[in-house]
Copies of this chain bind each other. A is one copy, B any other.
Amino acid sequence: MNNMTQQKATNVVWHDGEVTRADRFNRLGQKGATLWFTGLSGSGKSTIAVALEKALHRLGKLSYRLDGDNIRLGINKNLGFSAEDRTENIRRIGEISKLYCDTGIITLNSFISPYREDRDQVRRLHEEGGYNFIEVHVDCALEEAEKRDPKGLYKKARAGEIKNFTGIDDPYEAPVNPEITLHTDQMTLEQEIDIILDYLRKHKYVILYR
**A interface list, Cβ under 8 A from B:** 3-4, 7-8, 10-11, 14-15, 17-19, 23-24, 27-28, 44, 47, 50-51, 53-54, 57, 60, 62-64, 66, 70, 74-75, 78, 88, 92, 95-96, 98-100, 102-105, 144, 147-148, 150, 185, 189
When the two chains form their complex, are residues A4 and B57 in contact, meaning their CB atoms are under 8 A apart? no
When the two chains form their complex, are residues A4 and B148 in contact, meaning their CB atoms are under 8 A apart? yes
When the two chains form their complex, are residues A62 and B11 in contact, meaning their CB atoms are under 8 A apart? no
The residue on B at minimum CB distance from A49 is B14
Q: A88 to chain B: which residues have CB within 8 Å?
A: 78
Q: Which A-B residue pairs are the 4 nearest by beta carbons? A: A75-B95, A74-B95, A64-B103, A19-B57
The residue on B at minimum CB distance from A2 is B147
When the two chains form their complex, are residues A47 and B99 in contact, meaning their CB atoms are under 8 A apart? no
The residue on B at minimum CB distance from A8 is B150
* Bound Cα distance from A3 to B104, whole angstroms: 37
The residue on B at minimum CB distance from A66 is B99
The residue on B at minimum CB distance from A7 is B148
When the two chains form their complex, are residues A74 and B99 in contact, meaning their CB atoms are under 8 A apart? yes
The residue on B at minimum CB distance from A144 is B3
